Structure 1
Amino acid sequence: MRLTYLGPMAMGIEHPALDGVDCAAYSPNCFAVEATSEAGVHGPVIEGDVLLVDESRSLGHDDLVVVEMDDALHLYKTFRIGPRFRLLPPNGGTGVMATARMVRGVVVHQARIAVDEAL
């Protein structure tokens, strides 16, 4: 699923999903992305979710990660196979093989607009 880059956390980000999140508490290596309409409204990540991504975190098995491919940011879940990884779409699909160098960062926090705020 495609993601929209929102900016570095250290600069502070204005977004309804981040109300109550202390942007200054995150390292300068963290940035935020927003799930696009491609995410849909079913699954672990839905349209409008904001994901905080740490570029310095080590990649592991079963992580949500941001990958840059085809001049766009995409979200995948990792499945470790020896020194390589299979990147699987979080909402299902076959995925692609990758190395850790292809990954821009690991998701460390997921924020969603509260239902009563969205109405």
Structure 2
Amino acid sequence: MRVNYLGPLCAGMHPAMEGLNIRQFPPSCFLVEVSAEAGVSGPIMEGDLLIVDEGRSVSHADLVVAELDGEQRLFRTHRIGGAYRLLPTAGPRHSVIARASDLRGVVVSQARRYAV
């Protein structure tokens, strides 16, 4: 699923982040918003805000943001030697092979934009 880059993580950036201690995250973090293709059910929904750490090393089964074909998308990782098989979190279940240079960061926190 696509994510939209919102910028570096800073206090007061978005109302959904109210009450979140921004100082607990390193300066290498940025904020993305999940696109409409995520839908409105499941652990990740349209409009969710994800804090992504571009300084964190990617491990097996991490939730990551990768840039592929000019789009930033959300995937679950499956490590294969020096490469990664990226498994989509929504939509078609076709995996993609990627290098570490394709990965923009690891999701370290999630904020729900709207209470259900």
* TM-score for the superposition, normalised by structure 1: 0.87
Note the alpha carbon deviations across 1:20-48, whole angstroms, 9 max, x for none.
Answer: 11223321100000001011112321101
Distance 1:5 1:35, change over 3 A: same
Are residue 99 (structure 1) and residue 70 (structure 2) matched?
no
Gaps of 5+ in 2: none
Rounded to whole Å, the distance in 2 between the matches of 1:4 and 1:58 is 22
Task: Please show how residues 1-119 of structure 1 align to structure 2 within 5 Å.
Answer: 1-9=1-9, 11-91=10-90, 93-115=93-115
How many aligned residue pairs are there? 115
Q: Report the 3-state secondary structure (helix = DSSP H, G, I; strand = E; otherwise coil) of the residue aligned with 1:115.
A: coil
Distance 1:13 1:33, change over 3 A: farther
Moved over 6 A (4+): none
Distance 1:88 1:13, change over 3 A: farther
* TM-score for the superposition, normalised by structure 2: 0.89
Rounded to whole Å, the distance in 2 between the matches of 1:42 and 1:91 is 11
Note the alpha carbon deviations across 1:54-107, whole angstroms, 9 max, x for none.
Answer: 001001000000011222211110011222111011136122011111100000
Q: Report the 3-state secondary structure (helix = DSSP H, G, I; strand = E; otherwise coil) of the residue aligned with 2:64.
A: strand
The amino acid of 1:111's aligned partner reads: A
Q: How far off its partner does 1:19 sit?
A: 1.5
* Paired-residue identity, %: 50
Gaps of 5+ in 1: none
Aligned-pair Cα RMSD in Å: 1.6
